[in-house]
A = this chain, B = another copy of it.
């Protein structure tokens, strides 16, 4: 049914190689030949079969886009940016939704079967060894939103979560809060661990400040709300660093439901600066994660890897910045 190379060759009265060559750039074809072939091709409505060509070229232009964050609204933006950026480079995202599993084996096999040219892992909660499995299977990998280390096993692009924890702490301290807490995401997420680490380390330089921490079950509204309700029932701190924005919004809801006011009674600072944080009826003060740069840098690394698969793994770390909105008491003048 579909038109093949052979059909075009027949129609144009030339060899199959000639047709192939007019459709692969960099190949040697005369102008005359090209025109002749292209004429036949459009007449027949031919377009080359990318999969067949991948057999010999070894390139599919398919990129596995692997994530387990299908519940955090920030990831819609992440997927939007990734898919657009990939498309702009002529690459095609093959989406893998991990649901709960953190065992890469079946994803690795599946992506191998489809001969993807590379894999982008987009998650801040997967264990360190996860993305390594793809590399071990011989695929170029970039782990976006991963944990950067000085000697990464795969390319990692993200933020310095330790530093962002410190930043949150400094911000709270500067506002005069003397009793602060970390309302973290899931304890197993590397991002949570690192944010806590930085937060505590910074607070530790101020012995007069009281600090506490606890974890929500997930980066989600409900988990944040539930944990904040629990904290409110006990003896809450004056201000919290929420594990991320959606968690923080859940916490805000809990506070409102308890007839307390933000920032008057309790302060909250989130992390991500997702679209909703800017919604006027939420207006969350937060630490902006430069998603745009993380994505574009990941894509850049990926295209580099496609050219040179042996490029040694590298960590690219982007700075965050405070976005002042209405959920922390103002700086004292």
Contacts and interface: CB of A to CB of B under 8 A. Distances in A.
Interface of A: 1-2, 47-52, 54-55, 60, 62, 65, 70-71, 73, 75-77, 79-80, 83-84, 87, 92-97, 99, 109-110, 112-115, 138, 221, 225, 249-250, 252-254, 256-257, 275-276, 279-282
A140 to B, nearest CB: 13
A76 B71 contact: yes
Contacts of A76: 70-71, 73, 75-76, 79
Contact of A280 (B60, B256, B279): B256
B65 A279 contact: no
Nearest to A74: B76
A137 to B, nearest CB: 9
A221 B70 contact: no
A54 B23 CA distance: 21
B70 A73 contact: no
A50 B256 contact: no
Contact of A225 (B93, B138, B280): B280
Nearest to A48: B113
A256 to B, nearest CB: 5
25 contacts: A47-B109, A49-B113, A50-B113, A50-B115, A51-B51, A51-B54, A51-B115, A70-B76, A70-B77, A71-B76, A71-B80, A73-B73, A79-B79, A79-B95, A83-B95, A83-B97, A84-B97, A92-B110, A93-B94, A225-B280, A249-B279, A249-B281, A254-B280, A257-B281, A281-B281
A252 B280 CA distance: 10
A118 to B, nearest CB: 15
A95 B49 contact: no
A51 B117 CA distance: 13
B114 A92 contact: yes
Contact of A50 (B79, B80, B114, B249): B114
A64 to B, nearest CB: 10
A45 B281 CA distance: 55
Contacts of A221: 275-276, 279
A73 B47 CA distance: 35
Contacts of A94: 62, 92-95
B92 A93 contact: no
A51 B77 CA distance: 30
Contacts of A84: 97, 99
- Ranked nearest first, the 5 interchain pairs of A and B with the lowest CB-CB distance are A70-B80, A83-B97, A253-B281, A50-B113, A76-B76
